[in-house]
């Protein structure tokens, strides 16, 4: 009678997170700060992306002990990251009862050919994408939520903007394409035809699309919302800033009132220094996280 | 205003706003997203959507919506997080947000997302409804004057009505279910009169 893990139940949780901010946290204390600042969920990690980038080496799933402590600390959903293609890390995260698994390019990929078969899990997955084809490939694999990749750990919003604009432009292209030309467009985008048809029918992605990767200020968050994001992931932007709680609160409020410049001016004032940013051109191509996944 | 389409607000601070808007518009209602107290003016009723109740509650308080809504002057339909916001008591000691519905609720009552589910339910006066329960609450205690319209398979109340207020633990708006919204609309009879001083400019 009761059906668990249906696609509606998986994508439905993402629908409930819309208009909200999901924050990377590494300790129970940070998780509590996120919750009382109005975050709709937290991403439990051992290191935020800026530190992963600085440390180099292989980045893996967080220690289950860290995930458990964070689950105990808050009542909002707790997400955690698995490496691309590492379905055993995902099985472990499902056993821990995390509410969403991020199959994430921020960690070092475990498989350079196949992403996780996300339909095999009851826990829903969110995946990164830079364009519509990539988003639809992930959805075909069972992802119930998409986030644009941006360039994590940089505090530089330029890639998040590029990816959001690209997805929106790709969707407009699908909408303008006659039905009989959709198969060729699908082939060109590397997306399953069925998913492309669904985009045309709905006029949007079939699942929620958040923005991620480089959001560091309330204005960045509102920019992404005005560009059509359904919500915001903030990684290093909060806990790498001078006053994380003030910044967390400000980014939440900016995401809610993204269309109200007066509120944006008010919440942006006096919240301390943002995290230091990195020029994308200064990152060697091989170190760009967005190139991971396909 | 009699005879014109009902004007229904949807609390739009965070959560599944779009889905409720689609159902209400299908039923012929006019819809307005509510982010500030001035958005309440002229509403016949308001929907509190699913989302994260803590986040919505904090923002509702900060932007001056909690006070007018807790007077209960506006017929309110809450789904999931909306039900939690409406409850008089929340299990576990968390202070209530609006307290306009005389029930106690348990948050995440069925468990984590892994335990989220859908199931068919029998709703009084409506019939069989597909309930989509996502990290859902259920009602643990019902006060006088609260009518239980549906229970889950464990016997917990999941649809309740008290006067003009209606609440569901699940998400009819995710299942293309229109009858609960229709029942709410049927109880609206014109712009609600705010108590003096409740709605700031």
Helices (H), chain B: 17-26, 53-62, 66-70, 81-86, 179-186
As a whole-number percent, the residues of chain A with pLDDT over 90 amount to: 91
A252 in contact with chain B, both atoms CB, cutoff 8 A: yes
Q: Counting one residue from A and one from B, how many pairs have CB atoms under 8 Å apart?
A: 116
| pLDDT at residue A287 is higher than 90 | no
The proportion of chain B whose per-residue pLDDT surpasses 90, expressed as a percent, equals 93
pLDDT of residue B194: 82
Q: Is the pLDDT of residue B198 over 70?
A: no
Question: CA quadruple A49, A55, A59, A60: dihedral positive or negative?
Answer: negative
Instruction: State the Cα–Cα distance between residues B85 and B101, nearest whole angstrom.
Output: 9
Assess whether pLDDT exceeds 70 at residue B197: no
Instruction: Give the residues across from B90 on adjacent strands.
Output: B105
Interface check A132 vs B, CB under 8 A: no
- CA-based nearest distance B56→chain A, Å: 8
Percent over 70 (pLDDT), chain B: 96
Window 76-95 of A, Cβ < 8 Å to B: 76-77, 94
Q: How many angstroms separate the CA atoms of B93 and B97, rounded?
A: 12
Q: State the best of A1, A5, A6, A9 to mutate against chain B, taking most chain B CBs within 10 Å.
A: A9
Is B81 at the interface with chain A, CB within 8 A?
yes
Cβ distance of A123 and B113 shorter than 8 Å: yes
Element (H, E) at A224: helix A218-226
Domain B7-186 coded CATH 3.40.50.880: yes
B197 against A194, higher pLDDT? A194
Query: Among this protein's residues, is B41 annotated catalytic?
Result: no
Least Cα distance to B87 among B184, B167, B187, B155 occurs for B167
**Any catalytic annotation for residue B171?**
yes
- Express each pLDDT in A151-186 by its tens digit: 999 999 999 999 999 999 999 999 999 999 999 999
Q: Which of A12, A20, A36 sits opposite B134 (nearest CB)?
A: A12
Question: Is A273 a residue whose pLDDT tops 70?
Answer: yes
pLDDT range class, residue B195, cuts 50, 70, 90: confident
- Average of per-residue pLDDT values in chain A: 96
Distance, in Å, from the CA atom of A106 to the CA atom of A82, rounded to the nearest integer, reads 9
Confidence at residue A286, expressed as pLDDT on a 0 to 100 scale: 85
Judged by a CB distance cut-off of 8 A, whether residue B12 touches chain A is yes
Q: Do B59 and A17 touch (CB under 8 A)?
A: no
pLDDT tier, B46 (very low <50, low <70, confident <90, very high otherwise):
very high
Contacts of residue B62 in chain A, CB cutoff 8 Å?
Answer: 253
pLDDT score recorded for residue A285: 87
Q: CA of B47, closest CA in chain A: separation in Å?
A: 14
Number of residues in chain A: 294
Closest residue, chain B, to A79 (C-alpha): B113
What does the DSSP 8-state code read for residue A161? Answer: H
Residue of A nearest to B19 (CA): A15
Among residues B80, B165, B177, B181, which one is catalytic?
B80
Average pLDDT over residues B31-59: 97
- Per-residue model confidence (pLDDT) at position A293: 87
Contact residues on chain A for B175, CB-CB shorter than 8 A: 8
* ipTM rounded to 2 decimals: 0.94
Total length of chain B: 201
Q: What is the pTM of this model?
A: 0.96
Mean pLDDT of B44-62: 97
CA atoms of A174 and A197, how far apart (whole Å): 8
pLDDT digits 0-9 by tens, A232-265: 999 899 999 999 999 999 999 999 999 999 999 9
Confidence tier at A129 by pLDDT (50, 70, 90): very high
Look at residue B3 in the predicted model and tell me its pLDDT.
61
Question: Which of left, alpha, beta for A73 (phi over 0: left; psi -120 to 50: alpha)?
Answer: alpha
Q: Does residue B138 contact residue B110 with C-beta atoms inside 8 Å?
A: yes
Taking the C-alpha atoms of residue B101 and residue B168, their distance in angstroms, rounded to an integer, is: 12
Distance from CA of A291 to the nearest CA of B (A): 30
Give the model's pLDDT for residue B201.
42
Residue A39 forms contact with B (CB below 8 Å): yes
Domain assignments of chain B as residue spans, ordered by start: 7-186
Q: What is the largest CA-CA distance in chain A?
A: 56
- Which residues of B are less than 8 Å from A1 in CB distance? 119-120, 153
User: Using 50, 70 and 90 to split pLDDT, how confident is the model at B1?
Assistant: very low
Residue B111 touches partner A, C-beta closer than 8 Å = yes
User: Between chains, do A9 and B15 touch, taking CB under 8 Å as contact?
Assistant: no
Please give the C-alpha separations between residue B51 and each of A15, A118, B16, B17, B165, in angstroms, as whole numbers.
Answer: 8, 24, 6, 9, 19
């Amino acid at each position: 009678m009761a059906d668990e893990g249906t696609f509606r139940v998986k994508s439905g949780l993402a629908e409930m997170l819309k208009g909200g901010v999901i924050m990377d946290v590494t300790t129970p204390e940070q998780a509590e700060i996120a919750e009382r600042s109005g975050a709709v969920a937290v991403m439990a990690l051992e290191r935020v992306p800026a530190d992963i980038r600085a440390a180099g080496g292989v980045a893996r799933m967080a220690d289950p002990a860290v995930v458990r402590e964070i689950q105990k600390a808050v009542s909002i959903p707790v997400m955690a990251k698995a490496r691309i293609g590492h379905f055993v890390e995902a099985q472990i995260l499902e056993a821990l009862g995390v509410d969403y698994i991020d199959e994430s390019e921020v960690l070092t990929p475990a498989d350079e050919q196949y992403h996780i078969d996300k339909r095999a899990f009851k826990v829903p997955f969110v995946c990164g994408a830079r364009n519509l084809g990539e988003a639809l490939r992930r959805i075909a694999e069972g992802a119930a939520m998409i986030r644009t990749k941006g360039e994590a750990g940089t505090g530089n919003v330029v890639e998040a903007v590029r990816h959001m604009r690209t997805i929106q432009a790709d969707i407009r292209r699908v909408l303008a394409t006659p039905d009989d030309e959709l198969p060729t467009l699908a082939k060109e985008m590397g997306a399953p035809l069925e998913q492309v048809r669904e985009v045309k029918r709905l006029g949007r992605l079939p699942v929620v699309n958040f923005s991620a990767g480089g959001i560091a200020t309330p204005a960045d968050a509102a920019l992404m919302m005005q560009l059509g994001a359904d919500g915001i992931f903030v990684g290093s932007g909060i806990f790498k800033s001078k006053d994380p709680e003030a910044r967390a609160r400000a980014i939440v409020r900016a995401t809610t009132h993204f269309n109200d410049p007066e509120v944006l001016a008010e919440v942006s004032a006096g919240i301390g220094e943002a995290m230091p940013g990195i020029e994308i051109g200064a990152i060697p191509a091989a170190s760009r996280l967005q190139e991971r996944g396909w | 205003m009699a005879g014109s389409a009902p004007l229904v607000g949807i609390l739009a601070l965070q959560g599944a706003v779009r889905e409720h808007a689609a159902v209400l518009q299908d039923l012929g209602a006019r819809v307005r997203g509510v982010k500030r107290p001035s958005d309440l003016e002229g509403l016949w009723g308001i929907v509190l959507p699913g989302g994260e109740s803590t986040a919505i509650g904090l923002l509702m308080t900060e932007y001056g919506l909690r006070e007018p809504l807790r007077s209960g002057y506006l017929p309110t339909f809450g789904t999931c997080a909306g039900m939690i916001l409406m409850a008089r008591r929340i299990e576990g000691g968390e202070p209530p947000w609006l307290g306009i519905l005389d029930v106690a609720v348990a948050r995440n009552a069925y468990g984590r997302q892994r335990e989220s589910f859908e199931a068919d339910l029998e709703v009084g006066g409506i019939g069989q409804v597909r309930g989509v329960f996502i990290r859902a609450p259920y009602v643990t205690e019902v006060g006088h004057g609260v009518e239980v319209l549906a229970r889950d398979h464990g016997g917990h109340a999941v649809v309740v009505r008290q006067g003009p207020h209606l609440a569901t633990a699940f998400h009819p708006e995710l299942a293309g279910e229109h009858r609960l919204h229709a029942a709410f609309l049927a109880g609206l009879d014109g712009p609600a009169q705010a108590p003096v001083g409740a709605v700031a400019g």
